Amino acid sequence: MKQQGLKNFLEKRIWVIGASSGIGEACATALIAAGAKVALSSRRAERLNALVQFGDKEQTIVLPLDVTNQEQLESAYQSILKGWGGLDLLLFVSGVYTPLRADNFDFTVAQKTIDANLLGPMRAVGVVLPNMLKAHAGHIAIVGSVAGYSGLPKALAYGPSKAGIINFCETLYYDLLPQGVSVHMISPGFVATEATAQNDFEMPALITANEAAKEILEGIQAGKFDIHFPKRFSGFLKFLRILPYPIYFWIIRRFVKI
């Protein structure tokens, strides 16, 4: 059994959460250009409103929200149902990153990171899932990170939040494949965005947000579960995680100078 791709975005009803910058913004603008109906969400309404100009009047809805707020997610979903009668794809891109190591570990930062990056997608999935299950149709795509594959420096909260996304997507895929609902787990390497602009080290295999959006949208069209890129970097990290721990930690200490 293989899951369905979303072959053509024309007229498809798509909710992009985290559309105000970076990878989410690039996905949203590409989807608008492809003729999709796009609901634009994140906290900064002014940044979302700026994207409306890229489409026809009827093509976009701006639904500002915070992914840590259950009521705002539910109310945004109700607006989508009212406007468009249903949803074909939930594309959850939103995420936060605060560098955190053992010597500056801060529980409040960890809690906020897990709330936004792991519980946020769970809340959104909880909101859209009942109708997708009823219809035996729909797509759920969640942006995790290669940082979720194995422990990496400076990711004491971000890493666990993204590792949780991998397990969540794997389990969702297992449950939803027989139900006709597709799951797309997205694991980017380094992408040049506002989030990575703060990095003070050279990022290997860095790609642009538009390149990331192309990988994501092509992966969804092809019906892929595991969408990871750029392959030269994500493939290498996938290989590292099958190594015994002593070798894994040796390689990380030897080559990751942050």
Ligand X SMILES: NC(=O)c1ccc[n+]([C@@H]2O[C@H](COP(=O)([O-])OP(=O)(O)OC[C@H]3O[C@@H](n4cnc5c(N)ncnc54)[C@H](OP(=O)(O)O)[C@@H]3O)[C@@H](O)[C@H]2O)c1
Q: Which residues bind ligand X (CB under 6 A)?
A: 18-24, 42-44, 47, 66-68, 93-97, 116, 143, 145, 188, 190-191, 193-196
Compare residues 84 and 158 and give the one whose CB is closer to ligand X. 158
Q: How far is the CB of 146 from ligand X (least distance, A)?
A: 6
Q: How far is the CB of 199 from ligand X (least distance, A)?
A: 8
Question: Is the preceding peptide bond at 230 cis, omega within 30 degrees of 0?
Answer: yes
Compare residues 68 and 221 and give the one whose CB is closer to ligand X. 68
Cα torsion 117, 123, 125, 128: sign:
negative
Compare residues 58 and 93 and give the one whose CB is closer to ligand X. 93
Helices 22-33, 209-222: crossing angle, 10 deg rounding: 60
Q: How far is the CB of 137 from ligand X (least distance, A)?
A: 25
Q: How far is the CB of 203 from ligand X (least distance, A)?
A: 7
Q: How far is the CB of 94 from ligand X (least distance, A)?
A: 4
What H or E segment, with its residue span, contains residue 13?
strand 13-17
Compare residues 20 and 182 and give the one whose CB is closer to ligand X. 20
89: phi then psi, degrees, rounded to nearest 5: -145, 125
Cβ-count burial 190-203 (b if 16+ within 10 Å, e if not): bbbbebeeeeeeee
Compare residues 21 and 29 and give the one whose CB is closer to ligand X. 21
Strand order in 139-143's β-sheet?
60-62, 37-41, 13-17, 89-92, 139-143, 182-188, 226-229
